[in-house]
Amino acid sequence: MANHLFLPIVSLMIGAALAVLFGRQRWVARGIVVGSVLFHLVYSLRLLWVVAEHGRQVSQAGGWLAPFGITFVADGATAIMLAVASLLTLMTVLYSFASLDEGYERYFYYPLVLLLLLGVSGAFMTGDLFNLYVWFEVLLLASFGLITLGGTRAQLEGGLKYVVLNLMGSIAFLIGCGLVYGVVGTLNMAHIAERMQTIQQPGIMTAIACIFLFAFGSKAAILPLFFWLPTSYHTPPVAVTAIFSGLLTKVGAYSLYRVFGTVMQNELLHLAPWILTIAWLTMLVGVFGAMAQMNVRRILSFHIVSQIGYSVMGLGLASSLGLAAGLLFTAHVMIVKTSLFFIGGAAEQIYGTGDIKKMGGLARREPVLAIFWFLGIISLAGLPPMSGFFGKLALLQAGVTQGAWLVTGVATLTGILTLFSMLKIWNEVFWKKSYADISKLPRVSLGLLLPGALLVVISLALGLGASVLVDYTSLAGGQLFDQAGYIQSVCGLDGCEAVFQAAIR
Partner 1 sequence: MSILLPIAIGSLFAGAVYLLLRRSVVKLFLGLTLLSHGVNLLIFSMGDGLRRGVPPITAADGSTLPGTTDPLVQALILTAIVISFGILAFILALAYRANQAVNTDDLDDMVTTDRL
Chain residues binding partner 1 by CB under 8 A are 130, 134, 137, 140-141, 144, 148, 151-154, 156-161, 163-164, 167, 170-171, 174-175, 177-179, 181-182, 184-187, 231-232, 234-235, 292-294, 504-505
Do residues 342 and 369 lie in contact, with contact meaning Cβ atoms separated by under 8 Å? no
- Per-residue HEC secondary structure of 365-397 comes to HCHHHHHHHHHHHHHHHCCCCCHHHHHHHHHHH
CA 475 and chain centroid, separation: 20
Question: How far is residue 22's CA from residue 463's CA, in Å, rounded to a whole number?
Answer: 41
Q: Which is nearer to partner 1, 178 or 384 (CB)?
A: 178
With beta carbons less than 8 A apart as the criterion, state whether 69 and 187 touch: no
By beta-carbon proximity to partner 1, the closer residue of 294 and 371 is 294
Q: Phi and psi at residue 442, in whole multiples of 5°?
A: -65, 150
Sorted by sequence, the CB contacts under 8 Å of residue 463 that are 6+ apart come out as 379, 384, 385, 386, 387, 388, 389, 390
Nearer to partner 1, 241 or 330 (CB): 241
Taking the complex as a whole, the smallest distance from the CB of residue 128 to partner 1 amounts, in Å, to 11
- Percent of the chain that is helix, strand, coil (3-state, to 5): 80, 5, 15
Q: Identify whether the C-beta of residue 224 lies closer than 8 Å to the C-beta of residue 285.
A: no
Give residues with Cβ within 8 angstroms of 66, minimum separation 6.
58, 60, 188, 190, 191, 490, 491, 492, 496, 499
Minimum Å gap between C-beta 77 and partner 1 is 26
Q: Minimum CB separation from partner 1 for residue 146, in Å? A: 12
Cα dihedral 65, 66, 71, 72 in deg (nearest 10): 100
Shortest Å, Cβ 159 to partner 1: 6
Q: CB of 175: closest distance to partner 1 in angstroms?
A: 6
Query: In angstroms, what is the minimal distance from the CB of 235 to partner 1?
Result: 6
- Closer by beta carbon to partner 1, 17 or else 171: 171
Which of 233, 372 has the CB closer to partner 1? 233
Q: What are phi and psi of 221, to 5 degrees?
A: 70, 55
| Nearest to partner 1 of 138, 410 (CB atom) | 138
- Of 240 and 396, nearer to partner 1 (C-beta) is 240
- The answer to whether 415 touches 403, Cβ cutoff 8 Å, is no
Q: Which amino acid is at 285?
A: V
Q: How far is the CB of 56 from partner 1 (least distance, A)?
A: 26
Residue 364 in 3-state DSSP?
helix
Question: What are phi and psi for residue 404, nearest 5 degrees?
Answer: -85, 80
> In the complex, what is the shortest distance from the CB of residue 230 to partner 1, in angstroms, rounded to a whole number?
9
Q: Which is nearer to partner 1, 224 or 409 (CB)?
A: 224
Of 227 and 274, nearer to partner 1 (C-beta) is 227
* Other CB atoms within 10 A of residue 35 CB: 14
**412 vs 197: CA distance, rounded Å:** 37
Which C-beta is closer to partner 1: that of 150 or that of 322?
A: 150
* Min dist. Cβ of residue 39 to partner 1 (A): 28
Q: Please, what is the minimum distance in Å from the beta carbon of residue 293 to partner 1?
A: 7
Query: What DSSP string runs through 428-456?
Result: IIIISPPSS-GGGSPPPPHHHHHHHHHHH
Cβ closer to partner 1: 226 or 257?
226
Please tell me the distance from the alpha carbon of residue 328 to that of residue 333, in angstroms, as a whole number. Answer: 9
Continuous segment of H or E residues that includes residue 88? helix 76-99
